[in-house]
Structure 1
């Protein structure tokens, strides 16, 4: 037994079926927001158990919406399907299959399809259906087109403002990098602000949110080339602001699905020293730590869906054993093959020591595992609960493996 063996034995509860989540449901209590992470964007176990927990939150605790690290227009098609809107696909799989921004597999996969099919059936018996929304900031051009379509039908007098914004971005060929490179000294900020002022607070959530996406994306792309904390923080502030709008709109409780790096409180990681914030931190600060529950995931070895460069074909890659001394190596040594950790009032060293915690992105190089892919983390401060899997497997994309960016 290793250094943390006794602590792990006292904290770990075996995880075999959704009924084992009871202790986590008790910890969640009457929380208003539950943010559920993932240690990669391509692992079956993370997606499957996240969906299992979310189903219980919806059916037993009355959560009103699911908001994911995806684009608003793409997720709106899924939302219309799960709410059985007229002219929406009867099978949510059709809406998910239309995701075409790389990495498509993040949401266009069988695991999310299974959940959305369940959600559509569940909504059949609800007076107020549960919604499915996107939090992210990348869909600048798609959101501009959606705004134009909405304005033509509902507010034609505001179409010129939207056209001015659209024409300002036209020279950049729908490329965020091109805009980031060429906008100086002129930018489209003034046109975007004018459009946002016209649409902010309008009755239609989708028009207002698409305008917020355009504004957030313009800010994001202006900071993108510099990289680092400015672009990261712009994106996470946008996602946190979107979450707040959804909470206000639905008047209820919400679930967030995103990567651990967005969900786990940044203040408990090396991100804080770099000046970075994330949704988990912002949610705790805005809504109170007693009303927000952060759930992380981790695994030791297996396979994952990822690409070896941005826009490259996706493939099933090996995930090698975790590096020595990491959180994952510690849990591999002493935890059950699948386990749930929910923190007690007392904090043993496993929860207060800083340990390296694996984070796999959409771009992954297994051969670099020993040098990268880890975030120094104080586990008990970063999350409120943690799901552990010693062996993991790749999720199941809807598209064929080897697909590149559209």
Structure 2
């Protein structure tokens, strides 16, 4: 018997269907924010079971919206579709063009968005679908200018100034970032003036302005190295979440979909030693730990959609068995093939939840042959998450299109999460 065998058996619950989430919904209670992670951006089971839990939260607990680790303009098209626009969710998702397209343009998300559209059709208060991420600088800036020209032409000057400044870099964030480092060039002043002008306006244009400001800051931070760029991105995502909750009003509640490395509490991993924060740790600070439930996901082996290098075409890659001594190796030996863990209070936690164990993280860039050299985050599981979904064997998700899109974005650490 594995040293953790008895204690895993005591807390693991077989996960067969959506009804098995009852105990997790009891744990969630009246929490305002539920963050549901994933150990990769390309795994079918992570997306389908996350969707299943989210459906119950929306249908039974009146959660107001889903906020994902995706771009604001792309997700706004999906939001319009799930609210009943002429475009279908599938058409909106097929419009995703920035690499990695498969992260949201996949059949699993399309199925969820179709359900959300049907659910919203019967309700006055529609549940939304929004993007939290920071990458869509030029697309968001164009959206700002289009909105201003239609609604407030006299206020468009600052947005045009920002666009003219950034246009010199041909929508290449690396060119802009290196120019800020070596040429001491910057469009920060123009972007900040635009943001000041638009704060408090209609959410869609205000948030696009926040994206431009966040992205400009992010790209400058990337070339400086260290934890600063990671933190710019996660602080932007958490601030966007808070802004959305304010927009939806008193009593609003949010489901967040993002990678485990963003959802989990940084203070329970080596991310804290690196000076990094996460949206999970920031949300616990802002709303209180009792109002935030963090749920991690993991698997032992299978297949995944990823790229072998940044910007490379998507491909189905093998996921080897978890390395010896890892969380994945431990649960493979001790847990049911599909399991739900709802963690007990700190005083009642078994060793597995208080020991630091390596926990796998697969990004949009993945090289299985190099996995044992990286891809694992030392984690105190009981502090990093409040619950955990386990799948011993998983398979690749189903992209909507095999489109290869060139990218100029920087890689993030762990690779592409």
TM-score range, shorter chain: over 0.9
CA deviations on 1:32-84 (whole Å, 9 max, x unpaired) are 00000000000000000000000000001000000000000000000000001
Map 1:210-221 to 2 at 5 A. 210-221=208-219
Aligned to 1:30: 30
Aligned to 2:188: 189
Map 1:4-403 to 2 at 5 A. 4-85=4-85, 88-89=86-87, 91-183=88-180, 184-202=183-201, 204-251=202-249, 252-345=252-345, 346-400=348-402, 403=404
Tell me, yes or no, if the aligned pair for 2:295 and 2:386 is still in contact at 8 Å. yes
User: What is the RMSD computed on CA atoms of the aligned residues?
Assistant: 0.9
**What SS class does the counterpart of residue 373 from structure 2 fall into?**
coil
CA deviations on 1:296-344 (whole Å, 9 max, x unpaired) are 0000000000001110010000000000000000000010000000011
Runs of 4+ in 1 over 2 A off after TM superposition: 402-406
Aligned to 2:412: none
- Scaled by the length of structure 1, the TM-score of the pair is 0.98
Tell me, yes or no, if the aligned pair for 2:97 and 2:405 is still in contact at 8 Å. no
Aligned length: 401
| CA distance in 1 between partners of 2:285 and 2:385 (Å) | 14
Deviates more, 1:174-183 or 1:110-119: 174-183
| CA distance in 1 between partners of 2:335 and 2:114 (Å) | 33
Aligned to 2:411: none
Tell me, yes or no, if the aligned pair for 2:98 and 2:405 is still in contact at 8 Å. no
**What SS class does the counterpart of residue 376 from structure 1 fall into?**
strand
Which structure 1 segments of 5+ residues have no match? none
**What SS class does the counterpart of residue 298 from structure 1 fall into?**
strand
Tell me, yes or no, if the aligned pair for 2:42 and 2:304 is still in contact at 8 Å. yes
| CA distance in 2 between partners of 1:320 and 1:228 (Å) | 30
**What SS class does the counterpart of residue 370 from structure 1 fall into?**
helix
Tell me, yes or no, if the aligned pair for 2:341 and 2:388 is still in contact at 8 Å. yes
Aligned to 2:406: 405
| CA distance in 2 between partners of 1:54 and 1:103 (Å) | 23
**What SS class does the counterpart of residue 317 from structure 2 fall into?**
strand
| CA distance in 1 between partners of 2:406 and 2:80 (Å) | 25
| CA distance in 1 between partners of 2:372 and 2:192 (Å) | 45
**What SS class does the counterpart of residue 63 from structure 2 fall into?**
coil
| CA distance in 1 between partners of 2:316 and 2:134 (Å) | 27
| CA distance in 2 between partners of 1:73 and 1:224 (Å) | 23
| Residue 246 of structure 1: how far off its partner (Å) | 0.3
- Scaled by the length of structure 2, the TM-score of the pair is 0.95
| CA distance in 2 between partners of 1:304 and 1:403 (Å) | 17
| Residue 282 of structure 1: how far off its partner (Å) | 0.1
| CA distance in 1 between partners of 2:166 and 2:151 (Å) | 23
| Residue 404 of structure 1: how far off its partner (Å) | 4.1
Tell me, yes or no, if the aligned pair for 1:303 and 1:394 is still in contact at 8 Å. yes
**What SS class does the counterpart of residue 117 from structure 1 fall into?**
helix
| CA distance in 2 between partners of 1:404 and 1:219 (Å) | 24
Tell me, yes or no, if the aligned pair for 1:103 and 1:405 is still in contact at 8 Å. no
| CA distance in 1 between partners of 2:246 and 2:357 (Å) | 37
| Residue 170 of structure 1: how far off its partner (Å) | 0.4
